[in-house]
Amino acid sequence: MNLYFRLLVMRLTSRRRGRLGLWDTARTGFRVLPNDLDLFRHMNNGRYLTIMDVARLDLLVRSGLWARVRARGWYPVVAGQTITYRRSLTLGQRFVVESRILGTHDRWSYVEQTFLVGDQVAARAVVRNRFLHDGGGTVSEEELAELVGPVPDDGRMPDWVADWTSSTRTI
């Protein structure tokens, strides 16, 4: 996490942007800054991943999940992610990251994050997270299910996510 200024702004403005339900979509606004750019004057591929950290935390804070996770002595870590880039983001451009929890499976939770300029998709990612105990060890599937409750059965988890998770276990 190397975007402390953006993290601070997100935390200071999260109350004003309102509470969310756990299964709602968080919309977190950003602007491309000079330090986000690569040599080709568009946002660096790695910067997308860092901005996704801030946007995911916004979802966790506004949904109340962050407080519940920390009260249990847990913290989330990214275990895998896949991202597709569709359009470049350039200096000064405003964009929104939409973040929503897709669901859980086994010990994993999955978040979809979409970068939007207006209604145009610039990038879309799926992030696989797991939660760890402060004292060491992985939060179990049962503990995770107890925390989040029933997962909506609305088809939000794409079928390919299970295949992707299985394929990465060989790494």
Q: What is the CATH number of the domain that holds 100?
A: 3.10.129.10
pLDDT, position 16: 78
* Domain enclosing residue 52, as ranges: 4-168
- Return the number of other C-beta atoms located less than 10 Å from residue 58's C-beta: 24
Note the helical H segments in the chain. 4-17, 45-63, 65-71, 141-148, 160-168
Number of structural domains the chain divides into: 1
Q: What is the pLDDT along the chain (171 residues), one digit of tens a residue?
A: 458 888 888 877 877 788 999 999 999 999 999 999 999 999 999 999 999 999 999 999 999 999 999 999 999 999 999 999 999 999 999 999 999 999 988 889 999 999 999 999 999 999 999 999 999 999 998 999 898 888 888 767 888 888 898 888 777
What distance in Å separates the CA atoms of residue 67 and residue 70, rounded to the nearest whole number? 5
